[in-house]
Structure 1
Amino acid sequence: MQLTIASGKGGVGKSTITASLLYLLKDRYRLIAVDADAGAPNLGLLLGVEEWEEEREHFGARVARINTGSCIRCGICMEHCPYGSIYVDGEGNYVVNGLTCEGCNVCGLVCPVKGAISLEEVRSGVIRKATTRYGFPIISAQLDVGRPESGKLVTEEKEWAKKIMEELNLEHMIVDSAAGIGCQVIASLGGADVAILIAEPTPASLSDVQRAYRVVQHFREPVYLIINKADMNPGFTELRRWAESEGIPVLGEVPYDRAIPQSMGLLRPVVEAFPDSKASGALKEIARRIAEEILG
């Protein structure tokens, strides 16, 4: 099965919970982890990855290039660039800023000189494979600065993970999605068997997890909810009421616990670093329910 863990909002503890669940389930199932936050991958840090065993470059983004030999310096391209990515350098040449160019080709369409502007394919990022300190593999990706294609990077990650699952006869893929509802999240949820949403009891988190839930509904996937920092705002009951109204099962509530930031400083899942903490007790119960009710 493929389980995707999403939140709709950053900072709610999604990667922290994912790392702990992987640690708790690793002895019962043959797992592979996928860090699908290509903009800010951090799951590998919590799982003890110090060196990547294999890296693959991903190409797909396009950037405009101006041929200074053919350019007549009319400035029409700079006037029409919707991203303001064209400027004049110290020698009077029109140049494209490759970090902000989106490859839309507006400049090429308005240029009066045929062939003076072309689109070139550039690297979007890198996809990496490693073995965690706990013995199971992880696939991660790092998006290059200023590059699009984050959704395609995540898709490539998952395809590589599927091949490894076949080669090593692994059972389940657990995907740590990015925050928000952008293309990375959509790619993370596509093809998943189950979505697990993480939220905290605040109005902002409720609003964002509702948006993430609408994305999950598009894929018609079973969905569950974990409430993190559950005792942080005891008067806020709207999160649970919303879950009940939508028929979303709550797998459990994780209390606020100083052991979690301490374990992050140690670069270890809290259930390993502080197994007797309040948060670890709640996470162990959640892992048990996932094993019994979802993974079987």
Structure 2
Amino acid sequence: MPELPEVETSRLGITPHLQGQTIKAITVRTEKLRWPIPQELQKLVGQRIQSIRRRAKYLMIDTPEGTAIIHLGMSGSLRILDEAIPSAKHDHVDLVLDNGRLLRYNDPRKFGAWLYSEVGVSHEVLAKLGPEPLTDAFSADYFSEKAENKKTVVKQFIMNNAVVVGVGNIYASESLFMAKIHPKTPVGKLKPKQIQRLVSEIKKVLETAIKQGGTTLKDFNQVDGKPGYFAQELHVYGRANKLCLICKSLIQEEKIGQRNTFWCDKCQPLPKTK
């Protein structure tokens, strides 16, 4: 599933091709992805694209008339192509530009989304999201306030979009490893120095992934068709029963909150309970 760095990579990739262009047509080949595709998207035809933003894992294409909101879901991808290139299987939406190019959305599992928001109106899918992890709003003080007296394990806590957006499964495991925190640690038991280190590592891991183009997943490629490269530097995710790159212990794997979680018992010791 594309996570925040993959979505940000897509935003950076499509922006030079879309910004300042005029939408000539929006071709919809399926009525429903995760949710029905709204007819209101057609209001954007004839509009000039002002900006392409990201909020959590949502991409937003802004025009004076309104905003197209895109979510890549489990397997969605975006490509910039010539208008003459015929659609293929799973090509569900084309945003056609007046310069002969188009933005094509492909989604084999159809769990992504294309939505519409009026100018000045925040869509309900964005209403309850926490702060962006790479902003100052996501700080150790904020984390401490949210975590106080919570019994939730830290892995699930940092993957909660109401707490902080975009820390998906891969980067949660990696950040916890770099911060030397066991994923099952109750978040309310973290010490201030641990919180400071974890917040810092979340930012570093995500920034590194964005710079390197996201993590290579079987369903994800960048806009230009090249895969991301951060997977080459994963320390624990997907490495169950392999040697830890730091201490040579075996990497552990277990489902936490129905998500595969990876850690090193030696580098990330679980605190003893009294």
Taking CA–CA contacts closer than 8 Å with sequence separation of 6 or more, which of the two structures ends up with the larger relative contact order? 1
Q: Choose 1 or 2 for highest CA Rg.
A: 1
Give me the TM-score of the superposition, normalised by structure 2.
Answer: 0.26
More helix by share: 1
